[in-house]
Copies of this chain bind each other. A is one copy, B any other.
Amino acid sequence: MNIAIVGLGVIGGSFAMGLQAAGYKNIYGIDINESTVRIAVEQGMIQKGFVEAGDILPEMDIIIISLYPNQIAPFVEQYRNVLKDGAILTDVTGVKTAIIEKVSKVLPSTVDFVFAHPMRGSEKKGIIGADHTRFIGANALITTIPTNKEASLKLIEKLYKEVGFDQVTRVSPEKHDEQIAYVSQLIHVLSVAVVNSTQASEETLMFAGNSFQELTRIADINADLWSELFLNNRTALLKSIEHFEIELDALKYTLEENDDKELKTIFSRAANKRREWY
C-alpha cells in the first residue's frame, strides 16, 4: 500500500514518522519546499520525497493532505485527473463544512475523501516540529459524508489508531464545526482578546497565576493557519461568540448594579455545570 503525505509540516511530518514507526514501508512525501523534502528523506521520515505531486500521486493508494484549509480544494482540483481509481484521500484540518463543500465540487467520483481532524495541534511550525509521539493518546474526529465507503472510513480509522490516536469518533461535519467553534475557537478568541487588551505591567505580570498563563498560552498563535480556520467557520464561530457575549453581559450587569444575589446565582450555575463536565 502506497501512502503519500502532502505537506511535511508539524502534522504531515508526524504522520510520516508515525506510519513508519507502525511498520508501513511505502511512505512518500510531497512538499513544495525542497529543503523540507531533503530533511524528511535525510531523517528517514519518508522513503522518497517529491516537490512535484504529479510525479507520484498516480501510484498512491492513500493520500494524506496535510495542507492549510484553503489549499485543499485547489490541490484536489489540480490533480483530480491523475488520481488512481479507488484512491482514498484524507485531510487534517480543524474545520469541516466549508472544506467539504469546496472539495465536493472538484472531487472525482473514482476516489473517496475521508475528512478527518486529528485533535492535537501545536504551537510549532514546519518539519522541525514533527514528532509522532504527540499523537499518542490524542483523539480524532472523522466527519463523514454520504458518499464515503465504509471500507475507506475503517481504513483511515485504522491508520489513526496505528499512529497512536486513542479515540477516533465519527461525527457530522455540522456538529463538528459547531462544537469546535465553542470548545476550541472561542477559547482562542478570548485568549487573543485578553492578550491584546494588554493591561499587564511588567512588574505585576510575574504574579499572574496559572489561569492567566494557561489561557494566554494559545494567544501565541499561527496567524496564517488560524485566520483560515476562523474564516472557514465564521458563521458557527460568530454564533458561539454571541452566546458567550450574552453571558458576559449578564455578569457585567451584576457588577454595574452591585447585585450580589444575581452574581452568586451566575457563579453557582457555572460551578455546577463545570462539575457535571469533569
Q: Give the B-binding residues of A (Cβ under 8 A).
A: 119, 121, 139, 141, 167, 169, 171, 175-176, 178-179, 181-184, 186-201, 203-209, 211-224, 226-228, 230-231, 234, 237-238, 240-241, 243-248, 250-252, 255-256, 258, 260, 263-264, 266-271, 273-275, 277-278
Contacts and interface: CB of A to CB of B under 8 A. Distances in A.
A195 B255 contact: no
B219 A273 contact: yes
B194 A190 contact: yes
Nearest to A186: B194
A188 B211 contact: yes
A42 B267 CA distance: 34
A226 B266 CA distance: 11
Contact of A223 (B121, B203, B215, B267): B267
Contacts of A181: 199
Contacts of A203: 169, 171
B230 A255 contact: yes
Contacts of A194: 186-187, 190, 244, 247
Contacts of A196: 247, 250, 266, 269-270, 273
A183 B223 CA distance: 24
Contact of A184 (B186, B197, B212): B212
Which of A181, A211, A264, A270 has the most chain B CB within a 10 Å cutoff? A270
Contacts of A175: 201, 204
B227 A189 contact: no
8 contacts: A183-B208, A193-B248, A196-B247, A197-B243, A199-B240, A216-B274, A227-B263, A231-B263
